[in-house]
A and B are shown apart, each in its own frame.
Chain A
Amino acid sequence: MRCGLPFVRRTGLYLKPTTVMVQRFGDLADKNVVDLEPLGMKRLLSDGEIDVDLDIDPGYVIVRSGKNIWGVSLYLLPGRLLSRFPKGMRQAIV
């Protein structure tokens, strides 16, 4: 028997923080958090990718819009943010 939430998942060589963990505990993070305006958030959901200019290392980031923590995305150089939100969430909202 196991208790708790899955924290990370292995994706290839990397560990990806899970959406459920980030939504619950993401407000405790003090780095690698990307704030998006509602329009940018909507575009990330609908297009699956947006251009951003961030002063952070590439890798998984927590995406926040307003006071809501939405989940995880992947930041790649040069300046691409790729949605890693669950498909169900994207389909339902878009």
Chain B
Amino acid sequence: MIPNPLADYMEFIPDWEAYISHLRRPLPAYLRINTLKASSDVVFSTLNSEGVRLEATAVKDFFRLGAAGQTKATIGYHLGYIYPQALSSGLPVLALAPRAGDMVLDLCAAPGGKSTHMAQLMGDSGIIIANDRKFGRLTALMANVKRLGITNTVITCYKGEHFPISGSFDKVLVDAPCSGDGKFRLDQNDELLHLKRGRTFLPAIQKALIQRAFDLLRPGGIMVYSTCTLNPQENEEVVSHLLKKRAGELLPWIPPIDWEPGLTSFKGRNYHESCVLCRRFYPHKIDSVGFFVAKILRPT
């Protein structure tokens, strides 16, 4: 018996049996190499000398760990050469495609995986504002920014939905707080492991965040909304809400790994027709955390 909320997803997840079977296995570990501090050759030889074996993936700078190990106890980690990160975590950043010199905002940045990835793609130039509403999470964010040797990042602590400085960013990333069911695993009894319990109504927060993020963009700017949940109420419904409230435009994007288009309906609810341009990533198809990515333009 598959527990809720996953059972609800049967109507849209392709190859359901493979999905459930995948949930019964542990997720493989991935890491991103940081080319700001050393060339990839130096990173590889340092990790190799410690017995860390890496397998290439289709996502640039992301590698699968050959055998699960404690990467945080390696020299490479302490020299800031690596950032342990799920393969699919790199996708929102690739969709946003920040470039050297851009002014970028990461609205929900802690612990900094995506912010530091953006800094790497920007060659540590331009400016990244890495914001998180929880002060306690800024310690990890700051430690990661320093460890990876990044100099273009400013850290702020605002509630995302109240972030000031409207209309000034070239790009905004909203990796919104979510129920996280893209990470869910099942135990031997098909019970969910690590189910988040809380009374927070996430879609309301997500809708406020996406709307504020859109207002923070300059005309012609691009934002990405992403979550690690497969729940359409936290994904397509949130994007549809924005498109109803603001004149945003969903942009197509071709990811480097297996994806499915966004949904236009779920459980009798209809979403904006352009939601097919959103991208869904299912754990069993990509062998990593399930993800949702929407790329949105603020027209000039």
Contact = CB atoms under 8 A, between A and B. Distances in A.
B75 interface: yes
A93 interface: yes
B65 interface: no
A1 B151 contact: no
A1 B37 contact: no
Given A1-B156, A23-B37, A23-B79, A68 B46 contact: yes
Contacts of A88: 78
A3 B73 contact: no
Contacts of B146: 5-6, 20
Contacts of A68: 38, 42, 46, 75, 79
A67 B77 CA distance: 15
Most chain B CB neighbours (cut-off 10 Å) among A24, A67, A92: A24
Contact of B73 (A20, A24, A93): A93
Contact of B149 (A1, A24, A89): A24
Contact of B38 (A67, A86, A92, A93): A67
Interface residues of B, number: 24
A3 B127 contact: yes
A14 B68 CA distance: 43
B36 interface: yes
B75 A2 contact: no
A78 interface: no
A92 B73 CA distance: 5
Interface in A65-94: 67-70, 86, 88-89, 92-93
Those 8 A-B pairs whose CB atoms lie nearest each other, nearest first? A24-B149, A89-B78, A20-B146, A4-B151, A1-B154, A67-B42, A92-B73, A3-B154
Given A24-B149, A24-B151, 11 more contacts: A1-B156, A3-B153, A5-B151, A6-B146, A20-B146, A23-B80, A23-B149, A24-B80, A68-B38, A92-B73, A93-B78
Interface of B: 36-38, 42, 45-46, 72-75, 77-80, 127, 146-147, 149-154, 156
